[in-house]
Structure 1
């Protein structure tokens, strides 16, 4: 479920999808994207200008994940920006077409991601910054799906995974992310954990806003949290 949902890799779907399976899939989200993270890291090593390498790396992650999270970011921005009415906002998000708010948000986020990664490449730590960012941004999914966070709709991906991750398991994922990121080569030991903490904080702020406005999470909200976390982590790792 983790690989099939979060990447474009063709895998056999699980025979049963219940809350236990969904919770484990969200906890294993960073493991599912190790391949795309490695690919993006390798792209940053190409003999090209830093900004070009950054754009190709960001694009490779989007391609390897079918643009799922970028689509969620655009839909969430449209929903939050179009109406204060919960039902109206959810309907706008469900339609899937991108309005001016969603497009502007996508453009801004991609510009910041590419610019920040170009800064990390110029500073000589493009690969660890890329890998740390991709993995950390997927780690936040377990925190977004802990037991007390409801679904905004009775069906859809959000309803499947909402409240499916036990709080202790989400805490373990967070602590593992902090610990492993401290070993990122080419970075001071504290730089990786700082980026992880910033990613969680920014994703958590967006999650809080969406729960208040929409009544819970949707698949689009999860995608928006991933992209928000990735942007925050890249900014934190942009330079020395």
Structure 2
């Protein structure tokens, strides 16, 4: 019989498979589907961000090197959307429709669950994608490597936001769905550790590129702050989180990170 210390790496392996299986198109076998595993998955989500971000960053940098920053930016954003099946973008649009409806929580949640996208969702998607592409175009124009780091930072910030959205005090807005599975599963210390580890890695990568050690971590912190504000608004408005809220938090963190890097120059 395995003791707890021997079993712990296997548990985190199960959580990592859960994370890749739910947050990406990469084909992995999810062996456990329960709340403890979901908590480990949301804690390990930055690993997914680093992986998908590296793939998108490489594609964007290659296109930027050959065809210029704007096309490189479009490529990076498109690759990230493809690698997630547009999951987070769909959540962002649904949350925008729910918040924009002005209806009580139950009606707003029903609007968010519908398959179509309303005017608030369309407008939000257009503005967010334009902001991401414009911010990345400037980074890729300045340096393909700098643009690649911006993509990596934004993808990592997006997945760090998932852990903060699933903190133990945060309730689920409704009993079913991914939101109910992951809500309240992440201890605050785990979210802090995952974010700090991601920030340290990005700081080291920033040094290799010759930029400030604080540049990328600061941009990630601002992006996470933006997603936290959205979380507070959604919890007050919907009485908790859903999978759509987590997707909206991810896109908000990514956009906040990219816009901050653009403003830093």
In 2, the alpha carbon distance for the partners of 1:101 and 1:64 equals 25
In 2, the alpha carbon distance for the partners of 1:100 and 1:181 equals 37
Q: Is 2:166 the counterpart of 1:145?
A: yes
In 2, the alpha carbon distance for the partners of 1:63 and 1:8 equals 8
Paired position in structure 1 for 2:15? none
Structure 1 residue 32, shift from structure 2 partner: 2.1
Answer yes or no: is the 8 Å Cα contact 2:49–2:158 preserved in 1. Answer: no
Which of 51, 59, 76 is equivalent to 1:57? 76
Q: Is 2:51 the counterpart of 1:35?
A: yes
For structure 1, which runs of at least 5 residues remain unmatched after alignment?
none
Structure 1 window deviating more from structure 2 (215-224 vs 125-134): it is 125-134
Paired position in structure 2 for 1:106? 125
Paired position in structure 1 for 2:177? 156
Which of 209, 216, 231 is equivalent to 2:233? 209
Which of 242, 248, 257 is equivalent to 1:233? 257
* Bigger-Rg structure (1/2): 2
Which of 96, 101, 111 is equivalent to 1:82? 101
Q: Is 2:219 the counterpart of 1:200?
A: no
Which of 4, 7, 19 is equivalent to 2:24? 7
Q: Is 2:121 the counterpart of 1:96?
A: no
Secondary structure of the corresponding residue to residue 204 of structure 2: coil
Paired position in structure 1 for 2:42? 26
TM-score (normalizing by structure 1): 0.96
TM-score (normalizing by structure 2): 0.87
Secondary structure of the corresponding residue to residue 185 of structure 2: coil
Q: Is 2:194 the counterpart of 1:173?
A: yes
Structure 1 window deviating more from structure 2 (19-28 vs 184-193): it is 184-193
- The structure where helix makes up a greater share of residues is 2
Answer yes or no: is the 8 Å Cα contact 2:69–2:141 preserved in 1. Answer: yes
For structure 2, which runs of at least 5 residues remain unmatched after alignment?
1-17
The list of structure 1 runs, each at least 4 consecutive aligned residues, that deviate by more than 4 angstroms after superposition, is: none
Answer yes or no: is the 8 Å Cα contact 2:68–2:141 preserved in 1. Answer: no
In 2, the alpha carbon distance for the partners of 1:51 and 1:182 equals 25
Answer yes or no: is the 8 Å Cα contact 1:149–1:217 preserved in 2. Answer: yes
